[in-house]
A and B are shown apart, each in its own frame.
Chain A
Amino acid sequence: SQQGEEDPQALSIQEGENATMNCSYKTSINNLQWYRQNSGRGLVHLILIRSNEREKHSGRLRVTLDTSKKSSSLLITASRAADTASYFCATDSGSARQLTFGSGTQLTVLP
């Protein structure tokens, strides 16, 4: 079952602008993660935020989590053409340590 749903499905911005992607989910979670996928390649883990955290930073990435609204956002600041990729949120909500992925946001950063 699909837990996370990203919004928007596609986003196109100019280099140097900030990119914001949102993720909504349905059930309570242990943590939420964001992954990046370059076209046709494997996913790469970017950042994890636990259910008792509200905000986390890693380099140009900022993730927020609002458990009352069951939503998270990923902000990429000062975007670069190399940030062009698909971004997926994944929720960890079970004792079996399964991750459930959303359908992703395709980000295009124009030079």
Chain B
Amino acid sequence: EAQVTQNPRYLITVTGKKLTVTCSQNMNHEYMSWYRQDPGLGLRQIYYSMNVEVTDKGDVPEGYKVSRKEKRNFPLILESPSPNQTSLYFCASSLSLAGANVLTFGAGSRLTVL
């Protein structure tokens, strides 16, 4: 089944404890992206990647890192999490359809930083 898989789905951690949220897609998509979703703010893009070894900042990149060593994987790294990074995180990927970027989303990772 074509899908984007995120892990973990739920995580409670403490301030300063490094964590990684993994994202993997099995659709051979070139484009991958991370979003965070907060009440009243919609989805905001954190980082995106157009292809392997190519990553760029989105609208809210502070406090996050990403890497794209393989086409299928795009992990999100929080080096020193803080409470304001408590959020619902989504990974998404896309295959350009006639130039349009139609996203397939993962199920989400709910992160709580205490």
Contact = CB atoms under 8 A, between A and B. Distances in A.
Contact of B42 (A88, A96, A98): A88
Contacts of A98: 33, 45, 48, 58, 101
Interface stretch (A41-49, A61-69, A72-80): A41-49
B101 A44 contact: no
B104 interface: yes
Interface SS of B by simple majority: strand
A103 B94 contact: no
Interface of A: 1-2, 30-31, 33, 35, 40-45, 48, 50, 88, 90, 92, 96-104
Interface of B: 4, 31, 33, 35, 40-45, 48, 50, 56, 58-59, 88, 90, 92, 94, 96-97, 99-108, 110
11 contacts: A30-B100, A35-B103, A41-B107, A42-B106, A43-B43, A43-B92, A88-B42, A99-B45, A100-B59, A101-B43, A103-B42
